[in-house]
Structure formats: C-alpha cells, structure tokens
Amino acid sequence: MSQAIRTTLVAAAVALLSAAVLVALARPAHAAGTVEVRFVEPERFTDAGRAPFDRDRALESLAAHLRQLGQRLPDGQRLRVDVLDVDLAGEQVLRRGHDLRVLRGGADMPHIHLKWTLEQGGSALKSGEDRLTDLGYMTSRTTPAASVGDLPHEKRLLAQWFRARFEDPR
C-alpha cells in the first residue's frame, strides 16, 4: 500500500472518530435513578453460599443486578434496599471435593427478603417490605438478560419485583 493511501486512510479514520466523539458529546447523557444496596447480617442468611467467598460473590452479583435495574428509575430517584435474607435456588452440596449447587425444583426455590424505600429529593415516595419467592422457578421461563451469568433465578425474581413495584405498567 502506498504512503498516500495510508495517509488518506488515517485521515479518514481520524475524521470518523472525531465525528463520533462530537455526536456523543452533543447528546445529553441519559440520567437515571440509583440504587443503594445494604446486606443486613449476611453471615446469618439462610443460603447465600457455603464459604464467605461464595457468599460475597453471590451478594455482589445480586447488588450489581439491583443497581442495573435502578437505571430504569427516573432521574433523581434513589432506591434504598436492605436485604434481610437470601436463600438461593437449590442446595449447595459437596461432591468429590467441589461445592455444587443442585436444583431439584421442590422446596429449594429462591427466596429474598428485603425492605426498601424509594426517595426523591430527600423525601420518601414509598417504602415497603417484601418476601420474594418463585415456587415454580424450574418451570418459569428465564429472561435472556437474567439467564446470562450466575444466579438466573434470583435475578429474574428481582427483575419481576422491580417491574411490579417501580415501573409504569403502561
């Protein structure tokens, strides 16, 4: 490739990148609400993982999911969630030196107990306490977004709760 063609390609790439940056800067940033998650005495949770590392990883995954859901809240709204108990779907068993989570679809359904307050401008708009359970978690269709990664049943449960509590049904 000749030097002239290379120079032209580089100039075109720089111009395209500059245009993309200008478009991004010209667009207003999407403002969204926020979610603050606090786990109350997580070491006493029914089943958030056997080892502290497993518990911390599971709870951080649930917190990240709630924060992601919070982006759907209107600008300026803040949802404060105190998670009081978590019982993950299935049962953690030790097999051949490895912890496995076995899902049987019976009395091992996911359960999340939480208290929450939705605020705007420092004032509470509404609050409540909910015990979330999915009795048919093995037969429920998992949404594509929730099925990616870990804890799909728990994330679906939180997404359904969030939609029912905080999103406009229209």
Q: Is the pLDDT reported for residue 53 higher than 60? A: yes
DSSP states of 45-81: -SBS-SSHHHHHHHHHHHHHHHHHHHTTSPTTEEEEE
* Mean pLDDT of all residues in 20-40: 66
Q: What is the pLDDT of residue 151?
A: 92
Instruction: Give the type of residue at 155.
Output: K
The band of 17, judged by pLDDT with boundaries at 50, 70 and 90, is: very low
What integer is the mean pLDDT of 16-34?
51
Convert the pLDDT of each residue in 103-157 to its tens digit. Answer: 776 778 899 999 999 999 989 999 999 999 988 777 766 554 445 578 999 999 9
Residue 140 backbone phi and psi in degrees, to 5: -70, 140
Confidence of residue 90 (pLDDT cuts 50, 70, 90): confident
Q: What is the DSSP letter of 168?
A: -
For residue 93, the cross-strand partners are 100
pTM across the whole model? 0.74
Average of per-residue pLDDT across 96-101: 70
- Above 60 in pLDDT, residue 23? no
Q: Which residues contact 107 (CB under 8 A, 6 or more apart)?
A: none
